[in-house]
Amino acid sequence: PQVMRYQVLLALMLSSQTKDQVTSAAMLRLRRRGLTVDSVLQMDEETLGQIIYPVGFWRNKVKYIKQTTAILKQKYGGDIPSTVEELVQLPGVGPKMAHLAMHIAWDSVAGIAVDTHVHRISNRLKWVKKETKNPEETRVALEEWLPRDLWKEINWLLVGFGQQTCLPVHPRCSQCLNQDICPAAKKL
């Protein structure tokens, strides 16, 4: 379980600003090398960079992964933290990643994981009382009214919807099943 949790965290770190297929391929290459805290600590930065390339911002991610892995070894005995507050203290880990790590690695729902899709769609659908400026504001606003038992699944539902239909530019409102109730569809 500890290795699985570490791999979940690394996959989340790699996935930022990266297509799912690229992240998956990078994780496969890492797993072939024995993806554990110790194996990553023993790997030099150049090798790690060659393995994870072409993930987005791979040079920064190499540094974050090495720093985070060292912290996990020293402070957490090679495991990942079990709270959002501790997870966001790790280099390269933001609130969305922390909430997803809690869901996937610890099977604990500490909050809603809000990425760009959830943020955009929540504002378009007016699920927030007043327009929010960033994903963290959106998370707080959604958590105020959305029943807790739906917190885990909203990210998965809206990410797919945002990738396929409710696109950032030129949303496919004419194909959307929500067009009759969506304030944004009436404006576009």
Positions marked active-site: 96
Q: Is residue 68 within 8 Å of residue 91, measured between CB atoms?
A: yes
What does each of the 188 residues of the chain score in pLDDT, given as a tens digit? Answer: 999 999 999 999 999 999 999 999 999 999 999 999 999 999 999 999 999 999 999 999 999 999 999 999 999 999 999 999 999 999 999 999 999 999 999 999 999 999 999 999 999 999 999 999 999 999 999 999 999 999 999 999 999 999 999 999 999 999 999 999 999 987 75
Q: How far is CA 118 from CA 136, 168, 178, in A?
A: 11, 11, 15
Angstrom distance (rounded) from CA 100 to CA 159: 13
Neighbours of 123 (CB within 10 A): 19
Q: Which of 87, 79, 16, 35 is nearest to 48 (CA)?
A: 35
* Residues 138, 129: Cα–Cα separation, whole Å: 10
> What is the fold, at CATH topology level, of the domain defined by 2-106?
Endonuclease III; domain 1 (1.10.340)
Sequence-distant (≥ 6) Cβ neighbours of residue 73 within 8 angstroms: 37, 38, 41
User: In the prediction, which pLDDT does 188 show?
Assistant: 58
* Segments making up each domain of the chain, as ranges: 2-106, 116-187
CA gap 78, 22 in Å, rounded:
26
Q: Where are the alpha helices (DSSP H) in the chain?
A: 2-15, 20-32, 37-42, 45-52, 58-76, 84-87, 95-106, 116-124, 135-145, 151-164, 183-187
Type of residue found at 79: D
Token pair of 155 as six digits = 């990210």
Decide if 30 contacts 39 (C-beta within 8 A). Answer: no
- The number of beta carbons lying within 10 Å of the beta carbon of residue 152 is 18
**How high is the pLDDT of residue 187?**
73
Whether domain 116-187 has CATH 1.20.140.10: the reply is no
Confidence (pTM)? 0.91
d(CA 121, CA 38): 40
